[in-house]
Structure 1
Amino acid sequence: MTTRARSFDSAAALYAANRPGYPEALYDAVEELCGRPLAGARVADVGAGTGLGTGPMHRRGARVVAVEPGDGMAAEFRRAHPEVPVVRGDGDRLPLATAAFDLVTYAQAWHWTDPALAVPEALRVLRPGGALALWWNDIDESVPWVAAQGERIRAFFDADGGAAAATATHFRTLPQGLASGFTTRTVAWSRRIPLDAHLANLSSHSAFLVLGAEGTRAFMDAERGHLAGLFPDGTVEEPYTVGLYVARSA
């Protein structure tokens, strides 16, 4: 798990350039489920990476502090968001003051924590009535071409002896011990990007980063052939669903 979590440091620029961000409707839902606007809220964005989730909250007027453990990701964050403070640490040991935040967020990052440690830490730094918000951006496998690609990825890692590395969804679990439980929302959205950017997005996932350049290149070359006929103009529409989970503290 640690190897995969830290694999992004070697590819922070690739990650920042090609990973999808999040639709504005997601932040509308965060505000609704948290019961307050982001404007003026004190937010800790944990596992902030290159700031794909942090930046939009800052632009909405939140007073955000980013928490990021990785050297490469933190450096890319500072380059892209020099106006937002970033501290080094992770969700299991938050380097933050007690009862100082209205909202603790994990954008595509909760699955890298130990919930037995991260839940008490989130509750410690939240103010009374604050909220913990977790979300994941998943490509929508109800779309046929996406489902077919998913099968090819799983078959590739099966053949490589690394089926468990093919997806992060299998080790996602919502934390227990939060009195309010979680309120959920799903937001569907899509983006249109060049085929090269779509393949670069795939290659920025931890399974491929751990695999290494040669194996990743072999898969992406084959995948380009699969997709070229489906998208003859060289533009891919990636469909996503964001799953949002919000729990309020006492």
Structure 2
Amino acid sequence: MTASSRARSFDTAADQYAAGRPSYPPALFDFIAQFMSRPLAGARVADIGAGTGIATALLRERGADVIGVEPGGAMAAQFRTLLPDVPILRGDGNALPLADTSHDLITYAQSWQWTDTARSVPEVLRVLLPGGALAIWWNTTAFDVPWIRGQHERIARRCGVKSSPRALPDDSDAIRLAGLSGLRVARRQVRWSRMVTLDTHLANISSHSSFLVLPEDDKRAFLSEERGQLREMFPDETLEETYVVDLLMATRP
């Protein structure tokens, strides 16, 4: 299964994505503002690969003048439903539908891995204002929590992928891939958790790309087995999902 096929798979599960995917902790946005040496309020921000608008909504709550960019039609439709007052453009990170030197901050929440850095980094630098910032982040798996690690390994076996936490490349490697240097780069990790119902948790794991591309029978069988295992561990069908947000930031010269 190609990366592009996995990237397109999200558009088949926009409802699940909106219902189950986790948000992000306030400390993440505190650090972004600190790195930028300015508040997010009033900043011109483009959220790339915005999906259903999870990160976009949080940026708007901070007072940012934010716009979403999303390639998927179904995901963009969910975005418009949830954030009717926020503009969204169809496009992707390799060819931003944005004017030159027009934004203070460009964000990629869970979406940088779907770009070709030889194209996306120059596009980011084209769109950012001088001194503007790029922020890339993921919610990664908290492997030190036994039940989460066990589930991640079961998903990896079922999907035929390597069992490892999704994380950024070491420090500034995502930028170096495009042959750039001299950027001010910072990396932070923020641990956080949320309490969810069993149904919300299953909607979350079933919205990941490696799971979405499985045959329908395999997906149904796995979710049924997983529901049974989790009910034994959490009889009240309420559980705590723990994440480590991995954030990379860089500034345009």
TM-score, length-normalised on structure 2? 0.92
Q: Encode CA deviations 1:188-224: one digit per residue, 9 max, x unaligned.
A: 1101111111111111111111113211111111111
2:47 matched residue in structure 1? 45
Q: Which of 193, 197, 202 is the aligned partner of 1:199?
A: 202
Identity over the aligned pairs, expressed in percent?
53
Distance 1:219 1:171, change over 3 A: farther
Distance 1:211 1:170, change over 3 A: farther
1:246 matched residue in structure 2? 249
Maintained 8 Å contact 1:34/1:246: no
1:169 matched residue in structure 2? 166
Q: Distance in 2 between matches of 1:167 and 1:118?
A: 25
Q: Distance in 2 between matches of 1:139 and 1:52?
A: 18
**2:61 matched to 1:56?**
no
Distance 1:171 1:39, change over 3 A: closer
Maintained 8 Å contact 1:178/1:249: no
- For residue 75 of structure 1, give the secondary structure of its aligned residue in structure 2: helix
2:225 matched residue in structure 1? 222
2:213 matched residue in structure 1? 210
- For residue 122 of structure 1, give the secondary structure of its aligned residue in structure 2: helix
Matches within 5 A, 1:79-90: 79-90=81-92
Q: How large is the RMSD of aligned CA atoms in angstroms? A: 1.7
Structure 1 gap ranges (5+): none
Q: Which of 16, 27, 32 is the aligned partner of 2:18?
A: 16
1:4 matched residue in structure 2? 6
- For residue 130 of structure 2, give the secondary structure of its aligned residue in structure 1: strand
Maintained 8 Å contact 1:16/1:50: yes
Q: Distance in 2 between matches of 1:28 and 1:170?
A: 20
**2:149 matched to 1:152?**
no
Count of matched residue pairs: 245
**2:130 matched to 1:133?**
no
* Paired AA for residue 28 in structure 1: D
Maintained 8 Å contact 1:188/1:241: yes
Maintained 8 Å contact 2:196/2:238: yes
Distance 1:168 1:12, change over 3 A: farther
1:112 matched residue in structure 2? 114
Q: Distance in 1 between matches of 2:243 and 2:78?
A: 25
Q: Distance in 1 between matches of 2:102 and 2:24?
A: 26
Maintained 8 Å contact 1:167/1:207: no
Q: Encode CA deviations 1:146-203: one digit per residue, 9 max, x unaligned.
A: 111112112223xxxx326x77838966222152242011111101111111111111
> How far has the Cα of 1:95 moved from its partner?
0.7
1:71 matched residue in structure 2? 73
Q: Encode CA deviations 1:69-124: one digit per residue, 9 max, x unaligned.
A: 11111111111101110011111000100000000100010000000000000000
Structure 2 gap ranges (5+): none
Maintained 8 Å contact 2:143/2:165: no
